[in-house]
Structure 1
């Protein structure tokens, strides 16, 4: 199936946000990091939302879950990976500050390995691995502003969006969680990818802020669907009961220096995807 969607096929689930990031489908709701408010928000399919967690950081911060259901929060500027305990307390799960000055996105694979990426705007990015026993080590470097990540259902491939290089890059995941065999998975021809998610057909949806779109691409770079929006798209996630609802978080974008001094133009948008979600997150 190829083709473009128009805005009439996209519904607004939530509006009036600052900047939504790191959307995740979890326990019947879409959870996301609400940048600019220090909140993690969850919204159901009827548009009813609540603040689930307040976090002691500014931005960036992103979320995922351990296999036992405890929430993880990347405290980006502090170089910490936080864990939410059953009583609601946020504690330090791992310290990442020795590997990079700022941290961004996270994905937890099916074996409980945690991958977090980071790096300053003017420095090469890295990926760190936090293993289930708590060991922290760098497993990739030289990335051009790493952003969203996905892990294939078999836990053998990780794909990361390199925003500044306008491409998706894949790695093999070795038995011990290390990454190897780096390769270009898809060249996106100048459309800087931000957040990404994976479907059962092996295609990746990627959000693009400068492109004001969310697009579905196959390995090798063939773009098979594009949803054009009226503002920058920061991230996307497949969810819903059948994992075939495509959620997109979008907002007007006027540069990093103006992130916190403009109207709340952020939205959570929803449409129907041609294939259900797969893999992690």
Structure 2
């Protein structure tokens, strides 16, 4: 739970009727997110109007980010492909991850130098388990693909600090945020715990300009702002599971939350449309990567 001094606040709903919103990104003046279960990538205005920007050949998981030149990237998780949208709207293969793992890939972040990090994959899960230990792979600007971390306890959201020197990964099943230093060639080293989160299960994350992390939590139905070391400063309560969060808006000081009712992995693809996007004003703007820029990267 948050420390006694932390605030507890509510958010307002700005759009309804999604399946599962995931991988939110503030891009070109709108919140983009993946509508899991439908193959849609949706963009939502601050007033709640939403548009389907494209449909991808994936149901779940899939996630998005942008290259420095503005081209959209899509992780097609079960297919093991990183796709790239060209200027004419077509999707082409940017990287093939199938040789690294036959298990689904999950989240993506592109840093300010164009290095791409994708997590998930990893060895096969043990009997009776949904997931085995995950990995992190790096796709370099020259196209080289290599594994740079392993034994991640259900990897979810990732963020890179503004100086491109640190990667933070949400380890949901370990209930912690884990960080790595980033080498000049994009490799990861010096793994350590950034914050133990007690009884919380971090999912999607984003960074703010004061060096804190916002994380979403499905079973505890909230988003929490935490400082390195584990001090929890702020909490936004929601009436359903929080899958991801992203800072955006005109000044970067709006926290957007992708939330939905959670019925278990076996019911993730269904006709239920309990997904919502909520928003709440916060004190510190977004920073680092994924970028909260009101324009393109």
TM-score range, shorter chain: over 0.9
Residue aligned with 1:257, SS: helix
**1:63 paired residue number:** 64
Counterpart-to-counterpart distance in 1, 2:26 and 2:186: 24
CA shift, 1:13, in A, is: 1.0
The structural deviation recorded for 1:5 is 3.2
Find 2:134's aligned residue among 93, 113, 125: 125
Structure 1 spans left out of the alignment, 5+ residues: none
Q: What is the Cα deviation at residue 262 of structure 1?
A: 5.3
Residue 117 (structure 1) shift: 0.2
Partner of 2:113: 111
1:274 positional shift:
1.4
TM-score by length of 2: 0.92
Query: What pairs up with 1:92-111 in 2 under 5 angstroms?
Result: 92-100=93-101, 101-111=103-113
Q: Which segments of structure 1 move beyond 3 Å, counting only runs of 4 or more?
A: none
1:158-169 counterparts in 2 under 5 A? 158-169=167-178
The one-character-per-residue Cα deviations of 1:109-134 (angstroms, maximum 9, x if unpaired) are 00000000013643110000000000
Q: 1:260 is matched with which residue: 269, 283, 292?
A: 269
Paired position in structure 2 for 1:4: 7
Distance 1:180 1:104 in 2: 21
Structure 2 gap segments, 5+ residues each? 291-297
Report how far residue 98 of structure 1 moved. Answer: 1.6
What residue number does 1:22 align with?
Answer: 23
Separation (CA, whole Å) in 2 of partners of 1:141 and 1:262 = 35
SS at match of 1:6: strand
Residue of structure 1 equivalent to 2:211: 202
Q: Offset at 1:4? A: 2.7
Length-normalised TM-score, structure 1: 0.97
1:141 aligns to 2:150 (yes or no): yes
Whole-angstrom distance in 2 between the partners of 1:58 and 1:18 = 11
Tell me the CA shift for residue 48 of structure 1: 1.2
Residue in 1 that maps onto 2:295: none
Higher relative contact order (CA 8 A, sep 6+): 2
Structure 2 residue aligned with 1:215? 224
* Pairing 1:177–2:197 present: no
Q: How many residue pairs are counted as aligned between the two chains?
A: 279
Distance 2:69 2:270 in 1: 39
> What is the rounded CA distance, in whole Å, between the counterparts of 1:138 and 1:56 in structure 2?
25
Q: Report the secondary structure of 2:173's partner residue.
A: coil
